[in-house]
């Protein structure tokens, strides 16, 4: 069931503005989503500790031709934040996307997923191949990345348990590079990242981290994919470069695009190059369709 929830904001002049934020009740959980534009649907799935605002620079480019649908995964953004470990898994996320599209009467789409969202997209396309006309996997993997700093992730998760999410963000800011000099030197982007990160619940952060680390490998199953597929990875995203190559070698006819001057979030770090790669791919798919 769709409901519109009011959100109050303050304009630059100080006046209170009211606008509506759409939610859908999916299996008893409110899932926040946003639609913009007209045309063939393109679904955008954000990554770990992100939310639908991560796609803002892509939506601006896509709405001229497509109907964009982005959502906050459970535990993230303005969606419901359940507190039990069993409420978080890549399979459940994929089921939420499926139910959302059914509720919106979307029988087929272009599907784009970043990082954890790319893992969700893989689960989705393997379960519902008839609903995906083209697939875009961004800085993600089909198995548990071997070069990922799991000890550091475990340390941050323990910090979250003992001191909270703000302490985790401050620690990440001190110890982890943001991926590009442009982001690192722009305090406005850091502030945006902070606000989005803190919209993730403690349980969402902890249990999604566990779900990623214990996921089932999908690389061999990806050979079943028969839709046009683009794999994108930032050139400085070392843990995901080799997994991106493996997915490219496994998915028949797939394309691989390495984004210069970008790490794990090329959507933000080099949006012009990312959007060019995405739009060029979609234009080719559109042309072949016609």
Dist CA 286 CA 290 (whole Å)? 6
Dist CA 145 CA 242 (whole Å)? 9
Instruction: Set out the domains of the chain in order of their start, with CATH numbers.
Output: 25-289 (3.40.50.1820)
Name, in order, each residue with C-beta under 8 angstroms of 177's C-beta and a sequence gap of 6 or more: 184, 263
Q: What is the pLDDT of residue 281?
A: 98
**How many residues does this entry show for the chain?**
290
pTM: 0.90
DSSP class of 131: G
For 201-218, how does the pLDDT look when each residue is reduced to its tens digit (9 = 90+)?
Answer: 999 999 999 999 999 999
Q: Beta partners for 228?
A: none
Q: What is the pLDDT of residue 178?
A: 52
Dist CA 181 CA 186 (whole Å)? 8
For 140-188, how does the pLDDT look when each residue is reduced to its tens digit (9 = 90+)?
Answer: 999 987 777 888 889 999 999 999 999 999 998 887 655 444 455 667 7
Dist CA 116 CA 132 (whole Å)? 18
pLDDT tens per residue across all 290 residues of the chain: 333 333 333 333 333 222 345 888 888 899 999 999 999 999 999 999 999 999 999 999 999 999 999 999 999 999 999 999 999 999 999 999 999 999 999 999 999 999 999 999 999 999 999 999 999 999 999 998 777 788 888 999 999 999 999 999 999 888 765 544 445 566 777 888 889 999 999 999 999 999 999 999 999 999 999 999 999 999 999 999 999 999 999 999 999 999 999 999 999 889 999 999 999 999 999 998 87
Give the residue carrying structure tokens 């639609």: 35
Dist CA 240 CA 242 (whole Å)? 6
Alpha-carbon distances, residue 147 vs 88, 137, 239, 255 (angstroms): 24, 19, 5, 23
From the list 99, 91, 58, 96, the residue with the least C-alpha distance to 77 is 96
Q: What is the pLDDT of residue 132?
A: 98
Q: How many CB atoms lie within 10 A of CB 149?
A: 13
Instruction: Please state the φ and ψ torsions of residue 90, each to the nearest 5 degrees.
Output: -65, -35
């Amino acid at each position: 069931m769709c409901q519109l929830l009011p959100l109050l904001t303050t304009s630059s002049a100080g006046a209170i503005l009211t606008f509506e934020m759409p939610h859908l009740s999916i299996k008893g959980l409110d899932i926040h989503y946003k639609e913009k534009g007209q045309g063939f649907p393109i679904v955008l799935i954000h990554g770990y500790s992100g939310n639908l605002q991560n796609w803002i620079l892509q939506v601006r480019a896509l709405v001229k031709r497509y109907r964009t649908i982005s959502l906050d995964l459970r535990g993230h953004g303005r969606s419901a934040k359940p507190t039990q470990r069993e409420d978080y898994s890549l399979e459940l996320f994929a089921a939420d996307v499926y139910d959302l599209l059914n509720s919106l009467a979307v029988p087929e789409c272009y599907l784009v997923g970043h990082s954890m969202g790319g893992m969700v997209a893989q689960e989705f396309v393997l379960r519902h191949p008839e609903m995906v006309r083209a697939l875009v996997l961004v800085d993600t993997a089909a198995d548990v990345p071997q070069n990922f700093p799991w000890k550091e992730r475990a340390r941050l998760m323990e910090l979250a348990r003992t001191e909270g999410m703000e302490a985790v963000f401050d620690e990440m800011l001190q110890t982890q590079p943001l991926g590009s000099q442009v982001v690192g030197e722009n305090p406005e982007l850091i502030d945006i990242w902070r606000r989005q990160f803190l919209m993730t619940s403690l349980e969402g952060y902890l249990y999604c981290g566990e779900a990623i680390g214990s996921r089932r490998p999908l690389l061999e199953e990806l050979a079943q994919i028969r839709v046009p597929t683009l794999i994108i990875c930032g050139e400085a995203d070392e843990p995901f470069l080799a997994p991106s190559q493996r997915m490219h070698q496994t998915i028949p006819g797939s394309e691989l695009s390495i984004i210069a001057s970008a790490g794990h979030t090329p959507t933000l770090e080099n949006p012009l190059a990312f959007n060019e790669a995405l739009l060029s791919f979609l234009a080719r798919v559109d042309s072949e369709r016609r």
